[in-house]
Structure 1
Amino acid sequence: MSDREVLVNALAWALATDGDKPAREARAALERVLRHAAGPDAEPSAARPATGDGPPADAWNLATALVRRADDDGRLLDALRGWLRAHPPPHGPGGGHTNSIGGDALLQGPTVQARDIHGGIHVHQAPAAPQRPPTPRQLPPVTAHFAGRAEDLKALEALRTARPRPAPRLVVISGPAGVGKTTLASRWLGDLAEEFPDGQLYADLGGYASTGPVRPADVLDRFLRSLGVTAVPGGPAEQVALWRSVTADLRLTVLLDNAYTAAQVRPLVPGTSDSLVVVTSRQRLTGLVVDGAAVHHLRALEPGAALDLLRHGGGERVARDPETARRVVRLCAFLPLAVSLAAAHLAARPRQPLSALAAALDRGRGPLEALRVEGEAAVRTALDESYHALPEDAARVYRRLGTLPVTHYDTPLVAASCDLPVEEAERTLDLLVETNLLEDAGSDSLRFHDLVRLHAAQRGEAEESAAARREVARRFVDWCLATATAAEAILSPVHRRLARHYAHPPAATAPFEDGETALAWLDTHRHTLMAAVRLSDAAGWDATTWQLVDAMWPLFLRLRPTEMWIEAHTVGLAAARRDGDREAVGRMLTSGGNGLRDAGRIEEAADWYERALRHAEEDGDVRGQAQALNGLGNARLRAGRLDDAEAYFTRALALRESIGYGRGAALSRLCLGETALARGEHGPAIGHLSRAYDDLRAAGDTYDAARALALLGHATACAGDPAGGRERLWKAFADFRRTGSAHWQARALELLGLAARRSGEEDRARELLRRSLDIYRPLSPANARRLEDRLRAPDAGTDPPDPST
């Protein structure tokens, strides 16, 4: 007979009325219990018919109904057992005989009490004292190959000890799939075991499981039973109340892994300030911050730590071939999950060279497909889970961004590329950041982790039609062109602008308050703009290609990214020729020649200028001819061929004056002044440069006017007026600060240093030259080397720097 059947049988005999007043009262009381538990309309249903050798049917039916109800209510079950001990059955099988033990008898251990035995023995045993369950130690094991998280552990400990709170300490470890959140949390909490003696509880909340997130009620049931609670209530509110009561005096750590929402976490927070709750999530769970949570965002491993992790599987192969090992962890994007899978791959193939793994990761779909566990692409699967949890509008933006050839994104770019209102684009980006699919890259910029970007690209290729991908690309390119053109209009207002054409004119471009913000935008978006040039060229949008290059002119002129300058104009020149726009061809040749000259590739620059001159002569374009001649003059000046330089500048000046191009004439005079300076003819230099400065200011060209003023200051100091020269140089330096020209800031400081050296102020000279060097270092290695030579050898002279635009 089962325990349940024994209980029903005992209750039925105890409830047999047969005129016994105590039994009748007991029966009435238990009927009230049943109605209270099941509702006012509950009645005991017939369980079995009465028989001659059992209790009456009504007693049996009531007993059966009570036990059935107790199956779902642990408190009722305990109450029935207690009542049965207080009211033992007055009847037994066989009729009215009683069998009792009374008086002072003391029973020890199990006792069989019977007169006749009919089919079973009822054993009455004193209930055992409740035993405390073992202290829960539920944290997942930490791999023996834990590496590279010392700073993260230190940061987490700082969050834990920052300030005492009246509520439990709550820490969220947030990061993308595969970044190692659970491993880090388990390692940290494992180290804290002695500080929390009442146990370590763990639950995987299944935030991205195919079956859906785990209900808090299911977790509470397990947690309460782990702490020794045998009768867990069924209602969520009662469970939470009991959980907080049970944990009120305990010191616990609770790891809630893979949480999906803040609402999923809140019911699981214990009721004591002496406990520590750690939540890991692919979401940022900003809702918990309102509750007082501290957030630690976990990023990929540092390269050295990633190599350590790879070494555990690759062993000596990693040590023998460190360059290939570095390539492997780069291809894994330093993501712990990917690196661990690569290490496991090596461990399972002890004879495979490291280069074979690198080749497998580098071809096809790369590490998303190559790194597998039991045949499943583990990294891709983890990212698929995050992707499928997104709302459809956010998923669309995610995969469309993956089709763009850029690594950084901001709200205006996304709004234009995905054809969204700015407010909607901002909300979508916030969601992608919240889910750790995008991460903050500083300066209002966002980026994908490398493997996430690869996943987004795959989803875009698989789910977006070719037409949709092409439209996104075209909208992106048009936005780049429109915004760069707006920046150009502020930074180079006197620069003759060529035509602009748009397939999808952007609704709005970035608003620029002044030249400083316009130049800053060009600087931070330089790689985005170059990606747009390459994309437009590959797509066959020739007009847009050269127009983009042309719009980037202030970037090239002010900030001098030389290699980009040359590449852009090489691509732009070919596109302009295919487009058949001769004016654009001339512009690409002269602007591109400037880039080659700035890079020190003087003969190549001269070749571009000569082609520009022939092109302009064929078209009868006098202005274009003067531009090319001025370029040739600068190439000869850089090469030290001063007579040739002067001849070219003089021809250019005459052409410009013949067509009334005053600004162009002033630029030619500036170059003639620089040529005179190179000859040491300070008087003629001052004459050319003074007029150039006045004419350029009158034309509204503040940048070139500052160039003329700097050279004028140098010529003045060299001519015997050091105070007047320094005054002009400092004013020019201030103008360059305002216009954002780092190159000319460095050049002005260098000229000031040379002026101080000429006056015998060596300490002051070295200070100014060091400041110039600090600016030159990231801009121009050649200029930086020249400054280093000047600092090493104070007697290196006071010759001016090489001429340049």
Structure 2
Amino acid sequence: MTQAYARPGVWRALVGALEGVRGVDPATVLRVRAAAEGDVGGLADELAEQASTAPEFARALRGWVDAGGGVGGPVGNTVSGDTSIDGHLVQAHHIQGGVHFHAPASVAVPAAPAVPRQLLPVPADFTGRTSELATLDELVGRPFGGPAIVVISGSPGVGKTTLASRWLSALADEFPDGQLYADLRGHSGQDQMPAGPGEILGQFLRAIGAPHSPAGLGEQAALWRSHTAGLRLAVMLDNAVSAAQVRPLLPGGSGTLVAVTSRSRLTGLGVDGAAFVQLGALAVSDAVDLLRRRIGADRVGREPEAARQVVTACAGLPLAVCVAAARMAVRPRQPLAAMAGALDRDGGAGRLDTLSIEGGYAVRGALDESYRHLPPGLAVGYRRLGLLPVVVFGTAVAAAACSVRPDEAALLLDDLAEVNLLEELGPDPVSGADRYRFHDLTRAHAADLAGELETSADRRDTVRRVVDAYLFTATAAEALLAPSHRTLPRDYAFPPDPGQRPPFSAAPGALNWLSAELPHLMAALRAAAEHGWDATAWQLADAMWPAFLRLRPYDLWIEAHEIGLAAARRAGERQAESRMLTSGGTGLRNAGRHDDAVEWFAQAREEAVRDGDRRAEAQALHGLGQSHRLAGRLAEAATFFTPALDLREEIGYRRGAALTRICLGDVALAVDRPEQAVPLLERARADLLAEHDAYDAARALAFLGRASARLPRAGRTVDDIERQLIAALGEFEETGSRHWQGRVLEMLGESAEERQDGARARNWYEQSLARYAQVSATDVRRLEERLDRLDRPSGRSPDRPSEP
């Protein structure tokens, strides 16, 4: 073709016609601009090639022709050689004066491609997720500086795809240029590899009408960004496996929105400006609503409690709820209670097998695919963590379970959280280290794999290492909080490393740790008993003594010592048996089971006399006295306290003697003899301070303050009367004993009530009630009675509070 010249205005009109048209190669627009300056060489061939693959471009070209851009007026001579553009004849050989388009009237111009609306349909029974949808809307409103990217991550079956589809579907009007969808096949099974970026880019380019797709990934990505630079487009990238898989698929310009779903957190996309939404389990009410929509409101309405049991067993996992609903839908006459029972059979051990449809293990299969992508070391960690006797755990427990260093355990936990097989709960209140937990069904899956792939010895040792770790840390807390109690041996199958340190260094931190870990300590104790580790079982109960004494969880206190007593007897450990009887008896009497406590202490006394253990005998006598005291049998109490004091003084047990003096002072107060109580309590206070027992010294001060308040008040102000009690309150605040803070405040209220100062008494009682509410339902009821009695002065005085 020889160079020729057309009128510049004709080509400038074509430039205008092509502006913003989908599928136009930017290079072609530059060539048309050049034609406006007189360079039309080879242009007709380029226009023909573009029109043959881009219908919308062909339509724009036809409009230009029909408007006279290529015909009309003297535009040139006859030309030999022709090229067809969308049914128009382009004469393109030895052009003189212009390009001629002859358009046969019978040839129709192809319609432009439809605006892509590729999102998956949203299930009609979509429910809940109100807060998550609101969070997503807020994120889109923030400045991104490029394409808005939101990563929605969560465990398998939690509903990531459905949520993203629901969200983007509601935004359809904001993206007039379309909504694209691609399944990146990150966890699609062993028979399918994750989708390559080139495969998806080709799909996307064709959807928006691009004329061609280059072969190389770099060119494809560049072309994709060029074509989307000016578009208002939403893109959903479903089931992504990595940030590297997603990054080439990010469109250009700031008018696009990309929603990525993944089982991994894809934190690497943070450098691209991504925002992150972690999707958790459905709330129970929303899960019940989903079940209702699937099997019918009437059926759920007839068995509401069974419906809640079903969704609870499904752990709020939408996939699991839908699988359970599908099974129930084909059994319309079967009660919901039958499915609830199947899911809970054998403690839920077969739950994953129950949640299957047509022979396919729907929930298990989803988890299997996540597991299959784990590196070998991470897979071992996942399996072993599934064996833990505790639900929430941190680095120290994970290090023990997996027999690795703490830094290695921290990486393992973070990696499992990254792929959403663990849920991160935030920092531990004592150590500040991150805490984690399994989704219930994920934990069952990990345990099932451990049962298949770990040896019985490995499974046993995993649990034993964790139990030993708890025993070590609880014993360290006991040594700080109750050093006089820390006298019995500790046996470890896996001894702690010589340099190992607990996550606290002082008494307040030790008590905080015991408070936070109390449920897990009990789980470790139960696991020890179940495995037949008798020495470990009673030693854990013994090590938890400061938690029982100061936090007053009476049900756990009694359970631990019942387990510990049985274990000590099986092991033939006489000292341990005595300790379990006396420490457990203390729990029984403080829980109001006075006669049971008397029985336990009587057994302890008999064994101590038989063994010739005078110290243990004195401990049993003291416990018998306390049990009768709290039962209101004051005379019987004194008959045990007196010989207990004599025996303790005889053997030189100064701290024990001081504790018995506190009890004798309390009895003197109960019979309205404060003048007898004061010297007993003053001596007890001095001896306990000398023994560096701050907790019990504060108890002595509290009773001393109560006794002093009962002495004649001539010349004393209210501040004088309350001074010692308020000082005792401050000491208990330092030691962290909520129960005794409440007890001292109650004593202050009693003192005010005796002075007939009702307003001041109410103030103290209300403060006491607030402390008791955190530790003791029994004490709460008594304080509520006291407050009620202030309005009815003739009422009976409430029962005495529990005291060790």
Pairwise same-fold verdict (TM > 0.5) = yes
Q: Report the alpha carbon displacement of residue 276 of structure 1 after superposing the two structures with TM.
A: 1.4
1:155 aligns with 2:155: no
Distance in 1 (alpha carbons) for counterparts of 2:222 and 2:300: 54
For 2:156 and 2:170, the matched residues in 1 are separated by 24
Out of 719, 722, 734, which is 2:730 matched to? 734
How far does the alpha carbon of each residue in 1:536-580 deviate from its partner, in whole angstroms, 9 at most, with x for none? 112221111111111111111111111111111111111111111
Q: 1:461 aligns with which of 423, 447, 451?
A: 451
Distance verdict in 2 for CA 1:493–1:724, change over 3 Å:
farther
The aligned residue for residue 291 of structure 1 is 272
Counterparts in 2 of 1:288 and 1:87: CA distance versus 1, 3 Å: farther
Q: Could you say if the C-alpha distance between residues 720 and 309 of structure 1 is closer, same or farther in structure 2, counting changes exceeding 3 Å?
A: farther
Instruction: Determine if contact 1:754/1:798 at 8 Å carries over to the other structure.
Output: no
Counterpart of 1:253?
234
Instruction: Tell me if the contact between 1:754 and 1:765 (Cα under 8 Å) persists in the aligned partners.
Output: yes
Match of 1:241 among 211, 219, 222: 222
The aligned residue for residue 692 of structure 1 is 684
Residue 746 of structure 1 aligns with which residue? 742
| Structure 2 residue 762 is matched with structure 1 residue 766 | yes
Aligned to 2:652: 660
| Distance change (3 Å), C-alpha of 1:105 and 1:627 | closer
- One-letter identity of the residue aligned with 2:762: R
Partner in structure 2 of residue 352 of structure 1: 334
Structure 1 portions without partners, runs of 5+: 1-13, 15-20, 23-69, 79-84, 91-99, 112-124
Distance in 1 (alpha carbons) for counterparts of 2:80 and 2:581: 108
Preserved contact between residue 262 and residue 285 of structure 1 (Cα < 8 Å): yes
Match of 1:217 in 2: 198
Per the TM alignment, residue 774 of structure 1 is displaced from its structure 2 partner at its CA by: 1.9
* Equivalent residues of 1:712, 1:728 under 8 A apart: yes
**CA displacement at 1:756 relative to structure 2:** 3.2
Give 1 or 2 for the bigger CA radius of gyration: 1
Q: Is the contact between residue 668 and residue 676 of structure 2 (CA under 8 Å) also seen in structure 1?
A: yes
Give the SS at the match of 2:363.
Answer: helix
1:804 match: 803
**Contact kept? 1:313, 1:346, Cα under 8 Å:** no
Which letter does structure 2 place at the counterpart of 1:134? A
Q: What SS does the aligned partner of 1:372 have?
A: coil
Alignment of 1:410-425 (within 5 A): 410-425=394-409
Q: Provide the secondary structure at the position in 2 that maps to 1:614.
A: helix
- What residue identity is the alignment partner of 2:640? Y
Once the two structures are TM-superposed, the CA of residue 720 in structure 1 deviates from its matched residue by 4.1
Match of 1:384 among 344, 362, 368: 368
Give the counterpart letter for 1:472 in structure 2. Answer: T
One of 612, 627, 650 as aligned partner of 1:635 = 627
Tell me the equivalent position of 1:530: 522
Deviation track 1:200-248 (CA, whole Å, cap 9, x = no partner) reads: 1111111112323211111111111111112111111111111111111
Counterpart of 2:156 in structure 1 is 177
The aligned counterpart of 2:104 is 109
**How far did 1:74 drift?**
8.7
Q: TM (normalized to structure 2)?
A: 0.84
The Cα of 1:799 is off from its aligned counterpart by 7.3
Give the one of 500, 505, 508 matched to 2:495.
505
**CA separation of 1:775/1:457 partners in 2, compared to 1, >3 Å: closer, same or farther?**
same
Local SS of the residue matching 1:628: helix
Correspondence for 2:542: 550
The question of whether the paired residues in 2 share the 8 Å contact of 1:248 and 1:270 is answered with: yes
Match of 1:279 among 241, 260, 279: 260
Q: Distance in 2 between matches of 1:255 and 1:216?
A: 14
1:87–1:751 CA distance, 2 compared to 1 (3 A) = farther
* CA distance in 1 between partners of 2:590 and 2:402 (Å): 38
Q: 1:101 to 1:650 in 2, by over 3 A?
A: closer
1:292 Cα deviation after fit: 2.0
CA distance in 2, matches of 1:761, 1:281: 66
Q: Is the CA contact (8 Å cut-off) linking 2:474 and 2:514 kept in structure 1?
A: yes
User: Does the 8 Å contact 1:259/1:279 carry over to 2?
Assistant: yes
Gaps of 5+ in 2: 4-48, 58-77, 84-92, 429-433
Deviation at 1:778, TM superposition (A): 3.4
- Equivalent-residue separation in structure 2 for 1:253 and 1:750 (angstroms): 64
**Per-residue deviation, 1:693:** 0.8
Alpha-carbon distance, 1:701 to partner: 0.6
Query: In the alignment, what sits opposite 1:133?
Result: 113
What's the C-alpha RMSD, in Å, of the aligned pairs? 2.7
| In structure 2, C-alpha distance between the alignment counterparts of 1:132 and 1:528, rounded to whole Å | 65
- Between the aligned partners of 1:487 and 1:520, the Cα distance in structure 2 is 10
Q: How many Å separate the matches in 1 of 2:521 and 2:230?
A: 61
Give the whole-Å Cα distance in 1 for the aligned partners of 2:758 and 2:173.
64
* Superposed CA offset, 1:552-609 (max 9, x none): 1111111111111111111111111111111111101000101111111110000000
Aligned to 1:196: 175
Distance 2:452 2:147 in 1: 46
Q: 1:353 to 1:511 in 2, by over 3 A?
A: closer
Alpha carbons 1:612, 1:624 under 8 Å: kept: yes
Give how far 1:109 is off: 2.2
Q: How many residues align?
A: 707
Aligned counterpart in structure 2 of residue 145 of structure 1, from 125, 128, 145: 125
1:110 Cα deviation (Å)?
A: 8.8
Shift of 1:131: 4.5
- Give the alignment's TM-score, normalised by structure 1: 0.84
Partners of 2:764 and 2:250 in 1: how far apart?
61
Contact 1:494/1:700, CA 8 A, preserved across alignment: no
Equivalent runs, 1:534-613 vs 2, <5 Å: 534-613=526-605
Aligned-partner residue type, residue 584 of structure 1: A
CA contact (8 A) 1:160 1:169 kept: yes
**2:81 aligned residue:** 88
Q: Distance in 2 between matches of 1:108 and 1:390?
A: 62
Residues 566 and 195 of structure 1: is their aligned pair in 2 closer, same or farther, counting only changes over 3 Å? Answer: same
SS in 2 for 1:202: strand
Kept after mapping to 2: 8 A contact 1:757/1:798: no
Structure 1 residue aligned with 2:285: 304
Give me the whole-angstrom Cα distance separating, in 2, the residues matched to 1:105 and 1:532. 89
The CA deviation string for residues 469-515 of structure 1, in whole angstroms up to 9 with x for no partner, is 11112111211111111111111122242011111112224231211
Partner Cα separation in structure 1 for residue 581 and residue 79 of structure 2: 106
Residue of structure 1 in register with 2:438 after alignment: 448
Q: CA deviation at 1:768?
A: 2.6
Instruction: Determine the C-alpha separation between the residues in 2 that align with 1:300 and 1:531.
Output: 24
Code of the aligned partner of 1:473: V
1:165 maps to amino acid: F
Residues 712 and 725, structure 1, Cα contact 8 Å, conserved in 2: no
Query: How far did 1:725 drift?
Result: 3.9
Q: Is the aligned partner of 1:484 residue 2:465?
A: no
2:355 aligned residue: 371
**Distance in structure 2 (CA, Å) of the matches to 1:354 and 1:800:** 46
Structure 2: distance between partners of 1:411 and 1:724: 51
Does the C-alpha gap of structure 1 residues 441 and 87 become closer, same or farther in structure 2, counting only changes over 3 Å?
A: farther
Instruction: Report SS of the residue matched to 1:655.
Output: helix
Paired with 2:465 and 2:95, the residues of 1 have a C-alpha distance of 96
Question: Quick check: 495-504 or 549-558, which moved more?
Answer: 495-504
Contact preservation (8 Å) 2:80, 2:94: no
Structure 1 counterpart of 2:482, one-letter code: S
The aligned runs of 1:637-652 (5 Å cut-off) are 637-652=629-644
**CA gap 1:698/1:252 in 2 versus in 1, 3 angstroms:** same
Q: Distance in 2 between matches of 1:319 and 1:667?
A: 59
Q: Secondary structure at the match of 2:235?
A: strand
Task: Check conservation: 2:327, 2:357, Cα contact below 8 A.
Answer: no
State the Cα distance separating 1:419 from its structure 2 match: 0.9
How far residue 86 of structure 1 moved from its aligned partner, in angstroms, is 9.3
Name the structure 1 match of 2:784.
788
Identity of aligned pairs, percent?
A: 52
Give the letter for the 1:652 counterpart: A
1:257 is paired with a residue of what secondary structure?
A: strand
Compared with structure 1, are the counterparts of its residues 798 and 607 closer, same or farther at alpha carbon in structure 2 (3 Å cutoff)?
A: closer
> Residues 742 and 772 of structure 2 are in contact (CA less than 8 Å); yes or no, is this contact kept in structure 1?
yes
| Partner AA of 1:317 in structure 2 | R
SS at 1:296's partner residue? strand
